[in-house]
Amino acid sequence: MKKAISKKVEIPAGTSAEVNGDMIKVKGPEGEISRKFNLGKVKMAIRENKIVLENEKATKNEKKIINTSYSHIKNMIKGVQKRFEYKLKICFGHFPFTVKQEGKKIFIKNFLGEKVDRVMDVIDGAEIDIKKEIITVKAVDKELAGQMAANFETATKVKARDLRIFQDGIYIIEKDGKKI
């Protein structure tokens, strides 16, 4: 069944958006973010201070594209207004380990008594703040903030030990203000 589908995203005061084909760029008080969408037959334009996603003869594939793009654009606008913030907690029961940042590298020392440090790279655009046992990850891009938090969790994944006993690691405790 083909029918006309249209979704509009309001551009709030203090932010600006620019559409160039499948590319959208959003600027706000916290920074700017740009993204290229694979829209296919869906048209994206700015009308009356709103980003409009529409298709006159939309099938369910176009509906999926419109809904997904709508959510991504809303997250982009939310991110340039107030950065996405993830909080992680350093947990250990056996071997106390430390996390230190030096430039674009993060060093996890003495994890499970290991002599060799575990090293992570900080993704460009992410801001890391380490205070005692709480790590805060902030970024304009929701996907980037989530990926950086996930990198902390995977860097301290326990292997070849009983996970019921060795629960050491870095775990996400808060996603953008929502406790887990």
- Show pLDDT as tens, one digit a residue, over the chain (180 residues): 689 999 999 999 999 999 998 999 999 999 999 999 999 899 999 999 999 999 999 999 999 999 999 999 999 999 999 999 999 999 999 889 999 999 999 999 999 999 999 999 999 999 999 999 999 999 999 999 999 999 999 999 988 888 888 889 999 999 988 998
Is residue 58 located within the same domain as residue 100?
no
Amino acid of residue 46: I
166: containing domain: 84-179
Q: What is the DSSP secondary-structure string of 13-31?
A: TT-EEEEETTEEEEEETTE
Is residue 62 located within the same domain as residue 44?
yes
Q: How far apart are CA 23 and CA 2, in angstroms?
A: 26
Q: How many domains does the chain have?
A: 2
Is residue 75 located within the same domain as residue 102?
no
**pTM as predicted:** 0.89
